[in-house]
Structure 1
């Protein structure tokens, strides 16, 4: 039985009229979800690595972290691409896909009774065990490292995509089994943030990062270098000009010509140390000091001693004579293997040609 409204039309009449109006409306076709237009030239916008840019004019539309793992559509689990996008967070051990269990209230916000609270505690305990999986101990350490990355990035005022990139570095370090021995998770977290900030164009000094890191300056610097060398990251070093720091401290011993030759040769040796790598778990400044000593041994001058180089480097980072001795021989052998001899002219001649 149909009822009449104020205008005398029945409900069925109104429904039929609405249906006819919808049929008369033009159909709007939408572009596929994976394609968008450039706001400047209407060209096609594509995403590569962490940047979304126009293929026609080159305008960068977005520059942020993008998860490139396969979606449900790629795996053939769903047919609709719009339903295949998962919300993930690299700052969580399981990328944030786990269920969250509340602490003091139920789903409606009501307080829990004592019996309910004890039950929720047991559920949370077993849920955390299942969340961390079989490698529970290592996953817990990774989770603590990711919390450190989030904390350091937040205190330094870094954008979200920088902290997420640092989290990716820490995950890669975990997969490569880099944490262990003197290379602690805390130091790797600080090193990851240091590299991610440098790569993204938000450089922070090692002193700034160490201020919020549960590790020392030397360990954070060493962790940043270990990440670059062991993971083969195409990221500029977080601390540049370490050779200059050592040579400046040796200024009263070296003359100008010798200083220029040592600088040219030391920079080349430091590049070899990063390429091999030599001493990847050592700070870049310590390797720079070792490179200066090897450069002095390769030339005819032999002006400085290991103790003098160690004292010069210690003005920034504590460096011992034994470390200089340990890495200098390995670095000397790497130079011979690369050039087939220990003649410094293989490098210095190129510098003289550039000066001409």
Structure 2
């Protein structure tokens, strides 16, 4: 039986931080062990490495309720099973080696049964489709992962309250994405959501109205100022710094004077942009600006009259 220690002397497993008594082989300097790495304090030479960092291990105490068990990836609302399912590969193993034909046939049968077990009920299958639709919408709208996570959680809440019954999955998924954008103050209009959705505007409006009423969402008011960057970007015309400041002044005046109250924010933002472009001798058609803003030329003209009257 071996009488030597399991590890070399000079390392303490309890905290991963000890000081060795030996000297540096290069400059005879003082050595220090930090997180399993023995380095010289004078020249910086790494003398030895210990790849397992015990200091990073979660510590558990008898009176502590925190569980220190090591688990896999964190749970996510973007998957119908919250990411707990097992994915079975196709042709190669974990090392990249090609599997033989008999093994591939066996795994194909296992994959078939595993897919049937993942969607054991129709509700789970519909939830998986809804999560995929939310992922498609957020990707098409260039929204972040947090919006996708919150929209999936909101859809689950609506499904638990039996709000999906009688309504299409596509409309409820689009309404969930729009509701999260409204709650977080993202400058996304209903027209943008409908453009990438597979349902019409009336269906998304109805679904959003139900979610907002039944779940009591704390939606933020969309201000015309939040829509200006998107309008300027999609207009594809170069604006000087003076013109940009003038647009912001008009929007601030519209909000302070009450012109923006009760009006569609996209119409107010488009009218402010139209007036600022005309003052700088940059002409743009009202029909083109109305198409970008998702409003009508009549609305832009009406807001322009109100802004001119307030300015005079």
TM normalised by structure 1 equals 0.45
Q: Aligned residue for 1:148? A: 133
32 and 106 in structure 1: CA distance in 2 versus 1, 3 angstrom threshold: closer
Offset at 1:132? Answer: 2.7
1:92 aligns with 2:79: yes
CA deviation map 1:270-294 (0-9, x unaligned) = xxxxxxxxxxxxxxxxxxxxxxxxx
Give the alignment of 1:257-272 within 5 angstroms: none
Q: 2:204 aligns with which of 220, 230, 234?
A: 220
- Aligned residue for 1:87, secondary structure, equals coil
Q: Aligned residue for 2:188? A: 204
Offset at 1:193? Answer: 0.4
Q: 2:161 aligns with which of 152, 160, 176?
A: 176
Q: Distance in 2 between matches of 1:125 and 1:88?
A: 24
Q: Distance in 2 between matches of 1:16 and 1:172?
A: 55
Offset at 1:106? Answer: 2.6
CA deviation map 1:269-318 (0-9, x unaligned) = xxxxxxxxxxxxxxxxxxxxxxxxxxxxxxxxxxxxxxxxxxxxxx99xx
16 and 191 in structure 1: CA distance in 2 versus 1, 3 angstrom threshold: closer
1:128 aligns with 2:115: yes
239 and 98 in structure 1: CA distance in 2 versus 1, 3 angstrom threshold: farther
Q: Distance in 1 between matches of 2:128 and 2:89?
A: 19
Q: Aligned residue for 2:105? A: 118
TM normalised by structure 2 equals 0.50
Offset at 1:219? Answer: 0.5
Q: Is the 8 A contact 2:158 2:211 kept in 1?
A: yes
Q: Is the 8 A contact 1:195 1:238 kept in 2?
A: no
Structure 1 vs Structure 2 CA RMSD: 4.0
Q: Distance in 1 between matches of 2:97 and 2:71?
A: 35
1:230 aligns with 2:226: no
Q: Distance in 2 between matches of 1:179 and 1:230?
A: 12
Q: 1:158 aligns with which of 139, 143, 158?
A: 143
CA deviation map 1:212-232 (0-9, x unaligned) = 211111101111111111222
130 and 31 in structure 1: CA distance in 2 versus 1, 3 angstrom threshold: closer
Q: Aligned residue for 2:91? A: 104
Q: Is the 8 A contact 1:224 1:238 kept in 2?
A: no
**Structure 2 spans left out of the alignment, 5+ residues:** 21-31, 36-54, 225-261, 263-294, 297-312
Aligned pairs, number: 187
Q: Is the 8 A contact 1:166 1:196 kept in 2?
A: yes
Q: Is the 8 A contact 2:77 2:149 kept in 1?
A: yes
- Aligned residue for 2:129, secondary structure, equals helix
CA deviation map 1:97-151 (0-9, x unaligned) = 1111112323332334443333222211211222234xx1111111101101011
Q: Is the 8 A contact 1:158 1:197 kept in 2?
A: no
- Aligned residue for 1:230, secondary structure, equals helix
